[in-house]
């Protein structure tokens, strides 16, 4: 399993939200590039970036911060938030992102996901964000009646690189991940699944690692910023 340190971008700053609420943002730094360097110096092999403003706007907003991160580090990075057309996908990948994450558009225009996955093999992931088992879109502001596994199975043969599954009620809440739901999703599809939301201590990573389903990785943000999770120690646990 790969540990993905998260850098969530709001108004050019590194923040963490509480359960996806933009009004409940904690600022952890004004220099996203420096934060990226700090994670890499501690051994991070990947970075998980989110353009929070972009997720609500439906188009990239924190492009400058993302550009600065890409210029500052040489590890691969994946980005989600506001990526809803082929031009934006092409533009981000041309700038050096290793992977784009398509969330809202996976619900509203699944054919675009399939088209992008064919055009850019290994560089397109689907972000499935759920509240109480139902998919949410547009920065988690709109809820649908679509179940997580129902959406995931639509892309079973599309060639997407991974599914990033976030339990919104756990995100930023430091209450532990939804291991059961994450494992159930991983068992339901052959696409690699990355767990997101609530990873706050080593025991959470161990639970995901030993959940009985093969997970490709886990994302953690607030716990790394708060010092409740040591990046190097966590990576060693996941390798074990």
Instruction: Say which of 8, 51, 171, 204 is annotated catalytic.
Output: 8
User: Taking the CA of residue 84 as centre, how many other CA atoms within 13 Å lie in the half-sphere pointing to its CB?
Assistant: 19
Furthest-apart CA atoms within the chain: distance in Å: 42
Instruction: Say which of 51, 129, 171, 204 is annotated catalytic.
Output: 129
C-beta separation of 92 from 112 below 8 A: no
Token digits of residue 178: 């939804």
8 as an active site residue: the answer is yes
Distance separating alpha carbons of residues 64 and 60, to the nearest angstrom: 10
Token digits of residue 240: 């074990």
First to last CA, the chain: 9
226 as an active site residue: the answer is no
Distance separating alpha carbons of residues 208 and 177, to the nearest angstrom: 8
Active-site residues, by number, are: 8, 129
């Amino acid at each position: 399993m790969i540990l993905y340190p998260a850098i969530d971008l709001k108004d050019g700053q590194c923040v963490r939200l509480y359960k996806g609420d933009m009004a409940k943002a904690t600022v952890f730094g004004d220099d996203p590039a420096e934060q990226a360097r700090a994670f890499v110096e501690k051994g991070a092999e990947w970075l998980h970036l989110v353009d929070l403003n972009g997720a609500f706007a439906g188009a990239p907003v924190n492009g400058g911060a993302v550009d600065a991160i890409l210029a500052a580090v040489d590890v691969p990075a994946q980005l989600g938030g506001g990526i809803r057309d082929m031009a934006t996908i092409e533009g981000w990948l041309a700038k050096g992102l290793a992977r784009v994450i398509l969330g809202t558009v996976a619900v509203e225009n699944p054919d675009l996901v399939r088209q992008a996955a064919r055009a850019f093999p290994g560089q397109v992931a689907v972000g499935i964000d759920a509240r109480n088992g139902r998919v949410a879109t547009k920065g988690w502001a709109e809820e649908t009646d679509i179940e997580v596994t129902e959406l995931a199975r639509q892309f079973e043969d599309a060639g997407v690189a991974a599914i990033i599954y976030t339990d919104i009620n756990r995100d930023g809440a430091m209450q532990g991940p939804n291991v059961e739901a994450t494992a159930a999703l991983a068992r339901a599809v052959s696409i690699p699944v990355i767990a997101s939301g609530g990873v706050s201590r080593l025991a959470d990573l161990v639970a995901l690692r030993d959940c009985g389903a093969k997970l490709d990785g886990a994302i953690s943000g607030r716990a790394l910023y708060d010092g409740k999770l040591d990046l190097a120690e966590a990576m060693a646990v996941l390798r074990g």
